[in-house]
Amino acid sequence: GVHVLPLSEFILGNRRTALRPDQVLTAILVPTLLEQGRAGFAKLGARSSLVISIVMVAGLLQLDEQGRVANANLAVGACSEVAQRLALLEAELIGQSDLSSVVRPEHFSHLSPLDDHRGTAAYRLDAAATITKRLLQDLSS
């Protein structure tokens, strides 16, 4: 039979998924981007490609006719074992048109970044907030 899982339940960790030995992945369902939607990706790393990221942020904003956020999807990578959605921030963005002061440290409190040679956990959290703010500015302009 068919078994559909949200991505957040499918990816369990580094090289680990919820796929059982008797299952085969046959499709990844990606919703269609509406005309008024904008998507983007930003990363912080030693180089722009072919390097493990210090922090990465992916986002999708859909704006209504008045330029207010109608839907928001944001995820941060390299700050936890698997990429994490910013559900609290996504909810607070709905109905907003000025996104310059919406992002706050508590939006990232559920993340669990590592300290390593690329950066400390505190640095990664600060960078995640900064990159998220920049991405939101880009997507809303």
Task: Note the pLDDT tens digit of each residue in 32-69.
Answer: 877 778 999 999 987 766 678 899 999 999 999 999 99
What average pLDDT does this structure show over 25-32? 90
Domains of the chain, first to last: 35-140 (3.30.390.50)
What's residue 1's pLDDT?
83
What's residue 20's pLDDT?
93
The position carrying tokens 């991405």 is 135
| pLDDT band at 127; cut points 50, 70, 90 | very high
- Tens digit of each residue's pLDDT (9 = 90 or more) over 77-87: 999 999 999 99
What average pLDDT does this structure show over 95-119? 94
Of 99, 102, 107, 98, nearest to 126 by C-alpha is 107
Cα–Cα dist 116/52, whole Å: 12
What average pLDDT does this structure show over 79-96? 97
Cα–Cα dist 86/74, whole Å: 6
Kindly state the tokens that stand for 49: 């490609």
Kindly state the tokens that stand for 38: 């904008």
| Listed range (1-5, 86-90, 93-97) with the worst mean pLDDT | 1-5
Cα–Cα dist 115/86, whole Å: 21
pTM of the model: 0.88
Please list, in sequence order, all residues whose beta carbon lies within 8 angstroms of the beta carbon of residue 86, skipping any fewer than 6 positions away.
74, 75, 76, 107, 108, 132
